Amino acid sequence: MSDPVFLTRVVLRNYKSIGYCDVRLNPLTYLVGANGSGKSNFLDALHLVRDALEGSLDTALNMRSGLSEVRRRSSGRPTNFGIRLEFSLKSGQRGHYAFNIGALAGRGYEVQNEECVLGGVGKGPYFRIERGVLQASSETTFPVVTADRLALVAVSGMAVFRPVFDALSAMGFYNLNPKLMRELQKPQEGRLLKPMGENIASVIGDLERVASERLEIIQEYLQTVAPMVHGVERKSIGSMETLEFRQDMAGAKHPWRFPAQNMSDGTLRALGVLTALFQGNRDYAPSLVGIEEPETALHPAASAALREALARAAHHTQVIVTSHSPDLLDDRNLSADSLLAVLSEGGETHIATLDDASRTSMHDQLFSAGELLRLNQLAPDRKALTAQAQAQADLFGEISP
Ligand SMILES: Nc1ncnc2c1ncn2[C@@H]1O[C@H](COP(=O)(O)OP(=O)(O)O)[C@@H](O)[C@H]1O
Ligand SMILES: [Mg+2]
């Protein structure tokens, strides 16, 4: 099986509450921390990259109320933010993509630097752009670039950069919304589940047609999480579509059929999470799936099944989840390596692997991560945070391993 890890390392500077963070990601990464600690901001930085490539930088910033809301507000008043993503493509080729976005004196913003490097600096395809001017590239011809857009969009037509563009655009981020999942939906392209589950009927319909084995996995887990539910399918209603669930009813011989409208929040959210995790087919699958608080509205007893589904999905797709739920993390077999602790101090978010004390007690199976979270003892490693702060690597070029 190919390595599920797409993003190997994420470096962020001045993104919302995150002053600086430099972390490595695993096949399955739990971002754990109190409410308001900055977990969603981390996922949102990755989501912004997806949005900016799929649409434009302008729409990605506008969706977030503009650059002034995205860059970190602090006494130091940083005027720019930066993102560096190190990745490993399905082909095995490694590389990084990085950019800085800064405010312009009047109004608006510009891409100050943008860089994409494959196979190591100077060893494979690359480009480096400064304020809309190409500085260096492995390619002899290069499209026109401008300072208000990401050049990776412009070069996505070039065979050497296409796989980077495709993989970054195939990241999926989810904050499932049962209300939207319940409404009648317009039939649409069902290749990738949308962020709130607003096209879930199309995605389930797509799986029925081209990846029934994946739909079976989804139904199996759904039944463990919501034992009354026996299955789900797409159902058209006039020109619209919805989901229909088969559910046991006391005294009835055959399961009853329920439209999504009558399903509980918990069941709909669970279905959304499972669909996000197992969506795709032989030709197309997300490169990474980020899910906000997958345990919301679920009975604590369903946590074990949810954990298992997350671990199973992470065999084929990289998964990142945010959580502040001790129940979800109540498993002494959960490896400390799969957790990143998120902490807010004085309005600034810090993210790092767990400290030695937590790691040791988890390793010795004295406490599960959930128990440590209940005891308020899941903290980022101070040494790692100091190292991050000291290194404060440049987002560009080769950075220390
Ligand atoms: N541009 C910004 N600068 C500084 N802090 C910000 C910015 N945008 C949001 N925040 C802060 O981020 C915090 C929320 O982080 P969030 O990622 O939603 O937390 P979590 O998901 O862990 O509950 C809030 O305290 C908010 O004030
Ligand atoms: Mg959040």
Atom 15 of ligand 1, residue of closest alpha carbon: 38
Instruction: Tell me the residues surrounding ligand 2 (ion) with CB < 5 Å.
Output: 40
CA of 40 to the centre of ligand 2 (A): 4
Helix (H) or strand (E) holding 29: strand 28-32
Strands in 229-237's sheet, in edge-to-edge order, are 229-237, 240-247, 256-259
Q: Say which residue the tokens 């011989």 belong to.
A: 253
How far apart, in whole angstroms, are the C-alpha atoms of residue 273 and residue 293? 10
> Over pLDDT 90: what percentage of the chain?
82
Phi/psi class of residue 267: alpha, beta or left (left: φ > 0; alpha: ψ in -120 to 50)?
A: alpha
pLDDT over 60 at 82, yes or no: yes
Q: Give me the count of residues in the chain.
A: 401
CB of 259 within 8 A of CB of 144?
A: no
For range 113-135, the mean pLDDT: 94
294 Cα: distance to centroid of ligand 1 (angstroms): 19
Ligand 1 touching residue 14 (CB < 6 A): no
**pLDDT of amino acid 1:** 52
Q: Is 70 exceeded by the pLDDT of residue 142?
A: yes
33 touches ligand 1 (CB under 6 Å): yes
Do residues 9 and 24 touch, judged by C-beta distance below 8 A?
yes
245 pLDDT above the threshold of 80 = yes
Pick from 317, 100, 324: nearest CA to 193: 317
Kindly report the average pLDDT of the chain as a whole number: 93
Q: Is 80 exceeded by the pLDDT of residue 76?
A: no
Ligand 1 center from residue 394 Cα (angstroms): 24
85/62 Cα distance (integer angstroms): 22
User: What is the reported pLDDT for 231?
Assistant: 93
Distances, alpha carbon 237 to alpha carbons 192, 230, 259, in Å: 22, 21, 11
Atom of ligand 1 nearest to the CA of 73: 3
pLDDT per residue as tens digits for the range 341-399: 999 999 999 999 999 999 999 999 889 999 999 998 898 999 999 999 888 778 998 87
What is the SS3 string spanning 215-240?
HHHHHHHHHHHCCCEEEEEEEEECCE
Pocket test for ligand 1, best of 16, 31, 292 (most atoms within 8 A of CB): 16
User: b/e per residue, 250-284, with b = 16+ CB within 10 A?
Assistant: eeeeeeeebebeebebbbbbbbbbbbbbbbbeeee
Whole-model pTM: value is: 0.96
pLDDT for 167-204, tens place per residue? 999 999 999 999 999 999 999 888 899 999 999 999 99
| Tokens at 351, concatenated | 């993210």
Stronger pLDDT, 69 or 249, i.e. the higher one: 69
